[in-house]
Amino acid sequence: MSSKTYRIAALAGDGIGPEVMREALNVLRAIGTRFSLSFEITEAPVGWAGIDAAGKALPDATLELCRNSDSILFGSVGLPDRDPTIPKDQRPERAALLRIRKEFGLFANLRPVQLPKALAHACPLRPERQGDGIDILVVRELTGGMYFGQPKKTEDLGNGQQRAIDTMVYTTPEIERIAHVGFKAARLRRKKLTSIDKANVLENGVLWREVVTRVGKEYPDVALEHMFVDNGAMQLMLRPTQFDVVLCENMFGDILSDEAAALAGSLGMLPSASLGATSAEQTFGFYEPAGGTAPDIAGKDLANPIAQILSVALMLRYSFGLNAAADAVDAAVGKAIAQGLRTGDIHSATDAAARRVGTREMGAAIVAAI
Ligand code: NAD
């Protein structure tokens, strides 16, 4: 057994969070056994579970646990029937999620979109556009650009009219650090990076392209191409199989990552990673499914645990550099799908080989495949 112990804060949250987290932790433990890895998993309440247990969406003890951990595995938070009953700044998404993002300086968001051939029916594109399956990683800058640039205000023009101002601003170091995340991720994949910008119109786009090109020289094994964002949005629909890693600034990434996500057909299949500071050995990361708490199906053994389980794979790969273990999780998910197991969100009545299963059975099949 390797001497290192990986400390993981597991915050399941609300709605389907605890159900899918249970399966993800079973997978993590199975990986620990198979690869002789030591994981110290500590569970703590967050969201409404935090408010009920300790009066706050992010209880002090939960935040302290996160500070003392190597990474956070997160479920999801928020309940639409309870959220409106408390002030906005105390609601789970703001008080827990945004707080954690800020506290840990999470500047890079990674959203992989994988559509195995067996799930072609779940994709809105015609099969001939899906090739041998879609496999894209959107890397989005998370703390700069138009969403945070100053000045940001609405002015009264005095004649009954107003003027709204948002400022798009990036500095060289901000672009450099996200570019490194993108190129490193491409190295772990098919070694192609498409950098998205609007260099034909925006000063930010010109600087983005210059800096990404310069950083790219440090990664000669990764093929770099540049694409204007409007063309990128179109190409994602026309020929998604051309993409490996797609690198975007904050707002373009917000839009394109959702567009790419639609290709996978269900939120239940989509994990995400938000990365912070990197040390020589590991990167602090926050790993969560792309979807929310799905109150419509919570507590009914209906939720797809795959997004949460693939979040474990991302954590192993991007925080701990445990690529073989991450590959084993991805492969086990692939095997369960290939065996025909489908939760309701990815089930098609026309697929005769498919069998509808619940959260537990899907999780158990993935554990068995490890
Ligand atoms: P949602 O993502 O929870 O649900 C949208 C639809 O997708 C629902 O039909 C749901 O059943 C389905 N779905 C989502 N995950 C699924 C899974 N794993 N398996 C099967 N089906 C799945 O979005 P919503 O309904 O708009 O939001 C519900 C609550 O979640 C709200 O309180 C919202 O604020 C919160 N939310 C939290 C996060 C987060 O914690 N990061 C993200 C989004 C929404």
Give, using CA atoms, the residue closest to atom 26 of ligand 1.
292
Catalytic annotation present for 254:
yes
Which pLDDT value is given to residue 60?
A: 97
Higher pLDDT, 352 or 91: 91
The pLDDT of 296-325, averaged and rounded, is: 97
Catalytic residue, candidates 166, 184, 192, 254 = 254
Catalytic annotation present for 52:
no
Residue 2 has pLDDT above 70, yes or no: no
Q: Which residues of 161-176 are buried (b: 16+ CB within 10 A; e: fewer)?
A: eeeeeeebebeeebbe
How far apart CA 181 and CA 62 sit, in angstroms, is 28
Which pLDDT value is given to residue 249?
A: 98
Query: Shortest CA distance to 231 belongs to which of 200, 191, 187?
Result: 200
pLDDT band at 280, cuts 50/70/90? Answer: low
pLDDT in tens, 75-128: 999 999 999 999 999 999 989 998 898 899 999 999 999 988 888 888 899 988
Which pLDDT value is given to residue 222?
A: 98
Which pLDDT value is given to residue 352?
A: 80
Give, using CA atoms, the residue closest to atom 8 of ligand 1.
294
- Given a contact cutoff of 8 angstroms between Cβ atoms, the answer to whether 235 and 242 are in contact is yes
Give, using CA atoms, the residue closest to atom 1 of ligand 1.
292
Query: Shortest CA distance to 170 belongs to which of 139, 192, 197, 131?
Result: 197
- Mean pLDDT score of the chain, rounded to an integer? 95
How many whole angstroms from 305 Cα to the centroid of ligand 1? 13
Q: Degrees (nearest 5) of the Cα angle 34, 38, 44?
A: 115
Least confident of 9-13, 129-133, 168-172, 297-301: 129-133
Catalytic annotation present for 258:
yes
**DSSP summary character for residue 329:** H
Describe the chain by its helix, strand, coil percentages, rounded to 5: 45, 25, 30
How far apart CA 111 and CA 270 sit, in angstroms, is 8
How many whole angstroms from 228 Cα to the centroid of ligand 1? 31
The pLDDT of 335-359, averaged and rounded, is: 91
Q: Out of 267, 333, 347, give the residue to mutate to test ligand 1, the one with the largest number of ligand atoms within 8 Å of its CB.
A: 267
Domains in the chain with CATH codes: 1-111+267-370 (3.40.718.10), 124-264 (3.40.718.10)
- Check residue 139 and give left, alpha or beta (phi > 0: left; psi -120 to 50: alpha): beta
Least confident of 29-33, 348-352, 361-365: 348-352
CA distances from 365 to 34, 213, 332, 361 (A): 16, 44, 8, 6
Which pLDDT value is given to residue 358?
A: 98
- For ligand 1, is residue 141 a contact (CB within 6 Å)? no
Which pLDDT value is given to residue 353?
A: 81
Share of the chain above pLDDT 70, in %: 99
Beta bridge partners of 342: 356
Residue 1 has pLDDT above 60, yes or no: no
Residue 277 has pLDDT above 80, yes or no: no
Q: Is 149 exposed, middle or buried (0-12, 13-18, 19+ CB in 10 A)?
A: middle
pLDDT band at 348, cuts 50/70/90? Answer: confident
Instruction: Count the Cβ atoms, other than its own, within 10 Å of residue 239.
Output: 12
The pLDDT of 149-173, averaged and rounded, is: 96
Which pLDDT value is given to residue 226?
A: 98
Residue 7 has pLDDT above 70, yes or no: yes
- Given a contact cutoff of 8 angstroms between Cβ atoms, the answer to whether 261 and 289 are in contact is no
- For ligand 1, is residue 83 a contact (CB within 6 Å)? yes
Query: Shortest CA distance to 330 belongs to which of 130, 114, 121, 26?
Result: 114
pLDDT band at 131, cuts 50/70/90? Answer: confident
Residue 230 has pLDDT above 60, yes or no: yes
The pTM of the full predicted model, rounded to 2 decimals, is 0.93
How far apart CA 253 and CA 261 sit, in angstroms, is 11
- Strand pairing report for 38-43 and 223-228: unpaired
Residues shown for the chain: 370
Residue 24 has pLDDT above 70, yes or no: yes
Q: Degrees (nearest 5) of the Cα angle 256, 260, 263?
A: 155
CA distances from 172 to 104, 112, 215, 230, 328 (A): 21, 26, 11, 23, 37
Which pLDDT value is given to residue 282?
A: 76
